[in-house]
Amino acid sequence: MSDRFSVQGRIVCVTGASSGIGCFLASTFVSAGASVVGVARRKDKLDAWVEEAGGAGGKAAAVVGDLVDPAGLEDIAEAVKSRFGDPEIVVNTAGMNPRLSADDVTLEAWRKTLELNLSTPFFLARLFVPAMRAKGWGRIINIASMQSLRAMPNGIAYGASKGGITQLTRAMAEAWSGDGINCNALGPGFFPTELTQKVYGDPELLDKLAAQTCIGRNGEMDDLVGPALFLASPASDYVTGQVLFVDGGFTAK
């Protein structure tokens, strides 16, 4: 029974592995026996992650690259494949939030946000689909957000991208699940990362957000382990096109 949740021996690509949720998930997969390639721009942070996660005999490797530039995605995908082979599991975690209001958002910030948060998860993952299809098994995990469902202040570009990712997840599932490639998304509540530094610097706001959940607290990284392993493993063989919210019931209330 527990084997159903195994990712032992799998090859995983995690974008945004230099910090926050991506770094945590990349380490989670290494600990669970997978070979993991982390992608992001900051080489020093990725190197530190490789040393830490790969240190105890785990398999971790880094690819440095800017995922905002669509022209660079093929080179990044080739570099990822060169580390451990073709990834069977792709976790699209890299993301940004310019936190600009509807009145102030610039076209440049809008385009960058939509490119990184919405376009890259599709165009990067698609480069790994032929190998997954040939194996008849694969997993694509996108990262949604409570802003996939709810409007929040200064979230016009971020919310549009995260709203889009839920429908992209369904469309990817429609396209590729017949080949054994299930596509789902994790929808985290509030978790302490660089992205949410501003929120975590405001205790009153944090308390308010915690009170808005059903469980009564904000997210802790360990809350993501089970849901991530579920979506990455044979345990979710009959689950595709879904968003699994890991938000303490925030969006249920």
Ligand X SMILES: NC(=O)c1ccc[n+]([C@@H]2O[C@H](COP(=O)([O-])OP(=O)(O)OC[C@H]3O[C@@H](n4cnc5c(N)ncnc54)[C@H](OP(=O)(O)O)[C@@H]3O)[C@@H](O)[C@H]2O)c1
- Residues noted as catalytic: 158
Binding mask 21-60 for ligand X (x = CB under 6 A): xx-----------------xxx--x---------------
Q: Considering beta carbons, is residue 112 or 133 the nearer one to ligand X?
A: 112
Let me know how many helices (H) and strands (E) the chain has, helices first. Answer: 9, 7
110: left (phi over 0), alpha (psi -120 to 50) or beta: alpha
Q: Of the candidates 188, 223, 227, 228, which one interacts with ligand X according to CB under 6 A? A: 188
195 contributes a contact to ligand X by CB under 6 A: yes
Cβ atoms of 8 and 232 within 8 Å: the answer is no
Q: How far apart are CA 207 and CA 202, in angstroms?
A: 9
Decide: is 91 part of the binding site for ligand X (CB under 6 A): no
Nearer to ligand X, 82 or 197 (CB): 197
- Does residue 213 contact residue 194 with C-beta atoms inside 8 Å? no
Residue number with CB closer to ligand X (9 or 106): 106
Q: Does 74 help bind ligand X (rule: CB under 6 A)? A: no
User: What residues between 137 and 166 interact with ligand X by CB under 6 A?
Assistant: 143, 145
Q: Give the residue with the Cβ less far from ligand X, 176 or 191.
A: 191
Which ranges of the chain would DSSP assign to H, the alpha helix? 20-31, 43-54, 73-84, 107-114, 120-135, 156-176, 197-200, 203-211, 225-232
Residues that bind ligand X (CB under 6 A): 16, 18-22, 40-42, 45, 66-68, 93-96, 116, 143, 145, 188, 190-191, 193-196
